Structure 1
Amino acid sequence: MNGKEKEEQKCDRTGDRQHIQEHLANERTFLSWIRTAVAILAFGFVIEKFSFYLRLLEWQAGMVTAPSRGSAAYLGIGSSVMAGLVVVLAAVRYRQTRCQINEGTYRHSLTADMLLAAMLLLVTVLVIIYLLRTPVPL
């Protein structure tokens, strides 16, 4: 058995009674990240579809010549990509924490938390910009 296989086997060892609470807490944290990703994805979907609906109403009312893809579509796509990145980050962090718990060498990662905060801040800024640039119907 080589070193990598040995390390994998060590990381997969989750049955130790002394670590059960830590593993359960790690799973709860992972599920929180997944809920955050689902919320970002749903938010992007709702913004894009609602914006399309409004553009369609404008087209039907004769206010525009054709319903075009607006900036909300890009905001929705960007939110979807960001949700995918949050899922990847959550999975990597979950696996890393799992191995550290089993080895008894847990080290908190500020980087993962700051990445998530930065992504959510980016979505917030983009939504604010979108809302400021969207004309108010009279």
Structure 2
Amino acid sequence: MKLFGNGGSPGAYRPQRDAEVREHLANERTLLAWVRTGIGLVSVGFVVERAGAPAFGTPGGRETVLASGVFGLALVVLGCLALVVGAVQFFRNRRMIMAGVFAPKSAPYIVVVAGSLLLAVSFIVYTALSR
């Protein structure tokens, strides 16, 4: 019983060249890297959000809870964005590999990198101002 794909059935897609198999496998590894990155960002986001909870009763605790909530949520959103970008890029690259063409696009990567840098700079500024 096959759960996914059509394996070796007569109607299966057959790569036209040997390198195409390697390209599909590389595309899958890239998707898995995006998934690891997205899950990592979401996980860290949850930890950062929860890190402010013990400070609630302390002086300045409300601001700490608010900041950790904002930074945690931003990390979760960035992680979800990485997952979506990775999936979109995977399917786009898959279609292009099967068509025998490739036109790289850097815009999706720039969005995730810019979001990461913006979040990092915001955190640095917040840390410097709260001392």
What TM-score, normalized to structure 1?
Answer: 0.73
1:48 and 2:49 matched: yes
Provide the residue aligned with 1:7 in structure 2: none
Percent sequence identity over matched residues? Answer: 27
Indicate how the Cα distance of structure 1 residues 95 and 130 shifts in structure 2: closer, same or farther if over 3 A, else same. same
* Structure 2 runs not aligned, ≥5 long: 1-11
Indicate how the Cα distance of structure 1 residues 26 and 70 shifts in structure 2: closer, same or farther if over 3 A, else same. same
Structure number having the greater helix percentage: 1
Count of aligned pairs: 117
1:126 and 2:122 matched: yes
Provide the residue aligned with 2:38 in structure 1: 37
Are the equivalent residues in 2 in contact too, given 1:14–1:102 (CA < 8 A)?
no
Task: Report which structure shows greater RCO (CA 8 Å, sep ≥6).
Answer: 1
Provide the residue aligned with 1:22 in structure 2: 23
What TM-score, normalized to structure 2?
Answer: 0.77
**Matching residue within 75, 90, 99 for 1:103:** 99
Superposed structure 1 runs of 4+ greater than 6 Å apart: none
Provide the residue aligned with 2:68 in structure 1: 72
What is the CA–CA distance in structure 2 between the aligned matches of 1:42 and 1:133, rounded to whole Å?
26
Q: Relative to structure 2, which stretch is displaced further, 95-104 or 116-125?
A: 116-125
